[in-house]
Chains A and B, each alone.
Chain A
Amino acid sequence: MGGFALFHLPTIGQLRRSATPGQFALALAIFIFLILFLVIPVGTVIYVAFTERGTGSFTLVNFQDFFSNDLFMRSLWNSIWVSAMTVVWASVIALPLAYLTTRFEFRGAVLIQTLGFLPLVMPPFVGAVALQMLFGRNGTFNLLLDDTFGFKIPFMEGLSGVVFVQALHYFPFILVNLSTSLRNIDRSMEEAAQNLGCSGFRLFRRVVFPLAMPGFVAGASLVFVKVFDDLATPLLLNVKEMLAPQAYLRVTSIGIADPMGYVISVMLIVGSVLVVWLSAQALKGKDYATVQRGGGGLSKRKLKPLEGLMAYSVVVFLLALVLMPHFGLLLMSFATVWSFSPLPDAFTLSHYGRVFDDSWVYVKNTLIYASMAAGIDVVIGTAIAYLMLRTKLIGRHWLDWLATAALAIPGVVIGIGYLRTFYDISLPGGAPLASFWMIIVLALAIRRLPYALRACVAALQQVSVSLEEAAENMGATKARTVRRIVVPLMAGGILAGFVTSFSTAAVELSATLMLVQANADAPLAYGIYVFMQSAAGRGAGAALGVVAVVFVGLCAFITHLIVERSQRSKGFES
């Protein structure tokens, strides 16, 4: 890597002064992990972007090609526009849900939080088909509209279609992170404001929302980056003129040994890291930490009857909208034939019978892979957040940027990179390391690390450093302080990160498809994919999709219950 020479390398002495040996060792360990499982595998694939055709020598001419190609430039602007608009619309959906459920005494808040989170769990392929069946050009809504009023609404056409679907799909990133932040705000801040005569919307705008900024920014930057790098939705809507689909289409076509697919991947990585850097700049120089933790967040207020009615209508409307794809999925899983009609022709249970035998092994594998990957993610995420916010270690931001870059790397690139890097290493017994199921876990962990990381960073930003100083003054060691003070105070954020990583890992396909080497090791997403390749398998695939959603939903629900309980056990009764 010639690039490293460009940066000023600190001397050993400078390094030693910047952190304790323990912190230094921790940073080194994470750095090695990222190099081994992210930089090297990805490097084996994308170095092509910097080589000249024929000679293989270093060049930047491919980047010049990128900027002089109309299609790529159009794709770049489209991607930026769609990502920005999605952040706006996702906020419109997430803000009321987060605010109403955390700010007021709201029956079923945990249920709403869980349901509001489900859109992230969109099983591959089936989710897409279900959306088309409802919102497509000849989907339920448009067929009914056309019948009664004689017009159709292009929900799923072009770039605005992408924004519509992406906002429905990814708003939970904002919801989860913002809710966690809102819960962590010290009630005394709010009370102080109220004592000074501030209330209502002004209170929200001037005090509550600004204090919850770390969560909102974490969520919004994730949504932006995720949409910027997402290829599933544009491809489902058949929008190819965006960067991620362009990269994917080029990387996966055979016989095309051209570097442009990798050049686009590099552009995606640069874009994503830039956004994360910008969002860090936006929060810089402000202090979001609050000292008091016992309060368990904002005081919850009872809604007046009329307010309650309005609040519930908003929540029910939003939930109905965002859960439409899952409703479509459920219909498909019971449908015999569903073709060019508002509803299926008839209903059957036979699809569930078909998947029953297979699904157990898929569910078990998914549970193992996704929970291990999410476990790795929150451990590393917490560690990076701590190193970044609590130490002066030189180069600590590199850990963040490196981990975040993973978000921008197409799954298929990681898949191929892992095969290249780990296939020649043999396990005892002769089988290649790449065929060992743990490799799938690592690939998932790397791909989902940015989610957990953003949640952990946001959580730690809200913990006041004075609490740790107090502990250390009382004689606790750094390690003990982290274990007994920092981690418990971050618990909400860590769990939010775990849930996000877990549930998105549970339906991840692009990297796993490259790495699954035996059916016995296959996760749910792969099972769905296998069914969804034939007309007769559509119902069965949908049934398996429902299994995936219910399973992930249950896990998320349990986690939310735990969060709620732990908030209460910290002495807060609503």
Chain B
Amino acid sequence: MGRLSKKNRRRDHVSQTTLDNAFDRRTFTIGTAMGGIGILLAARMGYIAIAENERYELESESNRVNLSLIPPRRGWLLDRNGAPLASNRADFRVDIIPDRTPDPNHTVAVLTDILDLDENAAADVRKRIEDSPGFQPVEVASGLKYDQFAAVSVRLPDLPGVVPQRGFSRFYPTGPSVGHLIGYVGPANAEEYEAQDRNPLLVTPGYKIGKDALEQQFEQELRGIPGARRVEVTASGRIVRDLETREDVQGDPVRLTIDGPLQDYAARRIGLESGSCVVMDCETGDILCMSSMPSFDPNSFSQGIGRVEYAMLRDDERVPLRNKVLKGLYPPGSTVKPMHCMAFLDAGVKPEETIICGGGRRIGNRFFNCWSNHGSVDMAKAIYQSCDSYFYHFAQQVGFDQVAKWAHKMGLGEEFPLPVTSQFYGTVPDPAWKKKKFDQEWQPYDTVNSSIGQGYYLTSPLQLAVMSARLATGDKVMPRLRLTDDKPRFEHFDFSPEEIGYVRQAMSDTVNGPGTAGRARLPFDDIKMAGKTGTAQVVSLSISDGKTGPWKYRDHGLFVFFAPFDKPKYAGAVVIEHGGGSGAAYPIARDVMTFMFDPAKGMEALRPLEEQWGGTAQERLDAKYRAYAAAAGEAVPPVPERDEDIFDQVEAEARVAARQPEAIARETNPSRVDTRSAEEVSEATASARPTSPDSVTQGPAPDNPE
């Protein structure tokens, strides 16, 4: 600008004319600038509104329209007769989405007030909100009354992030009876959400996935297809109107081999004991019942595990959270004796071959005692009288390798292809196993211990039931949990019908003849049950005699059985932890099989017992919960952050518990050297246990410890 350079030197020369000119120029500049800005704005608007219109229209729609998933109704779990073991119940529920809640504590306080929650429940909700990743809904309460639901709905504008809705919740009609078998459902955790590609269904309030056992195994089939609802919402989330709704598709039902009433009966019959009962169909391998008690109530677990309930279950020394059918490992004791006889038969031992039991028997250079003095013993007597000496002798003769091979064939130490989250396979000891595990040579006393199901031997109740079924039929029966129409075909073991019949008869004599389980006789004239008792010692005799004293030190009681003995249809096993001997186990087996053949008779036997115990399993659990909650008050520590942790911990503890017998297997206990004569032993045993002539298969120690 010329004026600029001029004024650099002569700044004074400003006149009215130059000012007017400057004004005209500068207002023109301003006008041009204004016009430029106007054009810029128009262009910018055109760009946004026309060039990018599609994008913004989409964003506007996604603002306006809220697509919410309707959680699919979960498929039912049915028993073999089509009765539901797990179904759905319509209910009202309230969830909270922490990310959308500015002040969760206040919101929870308001909800606590409206819904009348107790302090522990409120503390659980607060803890879950704290632990949650934020975008996942946290259940505040379910199973609400309509009034409560309506009260929350009305106050929604003051409760951001709270989602009340009508939905379906899982319902287990027989509660604790099926807890371990079926598992429970719960909201997906953060890992599951990530693992399933952030499936939005998993963070839909009210949607739950299977968390344990069958619920988890059949998740994909049970899940169903979610419905969807398109609604117009305001920025604060208020629904203005429904636009479109697609109904959900319920998940497929899964039909199990379980016999619902039998499962429930067995669970109730176990009563106050801690134990398990498995019943199988010998012809198909169908598992008719696998009860493990005490148990938890999957109904309350599915609503989120409360801290009071969790503390009660955790503190219980009978470990209600452990599925003892699959994860309880016990020395099988004498229950393996019939199976060992099959091994002897296979190795060429004739049933008529006898040995002399003199209250024990010398194996190698040591004397190992028997629980009684049996005199001359053949195979049948060895089974029904449970003579230990017979097994010491022939196990040593055929070699334990040979016996262990048959144990595996019969299902011990094996896992089965079942839809379960985990099963322990236990131990069938043999020289190679011992070498690998402890780097020690196999000793004669290992053969002696193992031959009567002690020492390192560990089996689960399921394995014992499978063994029993295979023993009864001579077929390699495979257990199954899912019902199909086709009848499976099993490989037949190479035994003659006579050999099988011989063992069946001996096992029948255990119950119906001169055997160890006379009280296990079925109350039917035409149906006879065959069986074999077993007692497993848990601590050394120096600590406890296994019959009395602290519960934890009492012997486990075991019983394997099949019926009818001459044409086996059902087989099973009962294991009672610390029952003080097999006398705790076989009455349960007897009543369960009675129920199997005649439910009315079975219930007759159960009713007086339950009266004595204080109600059904469900009633007792509820009463216990109330008592515990009242005693614990409000000072109950919270549950672990993820339910999975609870069961991981339970499983870890189960593994530790299973290793417990190893201590006895290795110990050499001098107090057990038997210096008495055979007659004295016989008399002493007979007088000690007049009603329960059972084989106490306490791990015999070598009589000359080196």
Is chain B a partner of chain A in the same complex? no
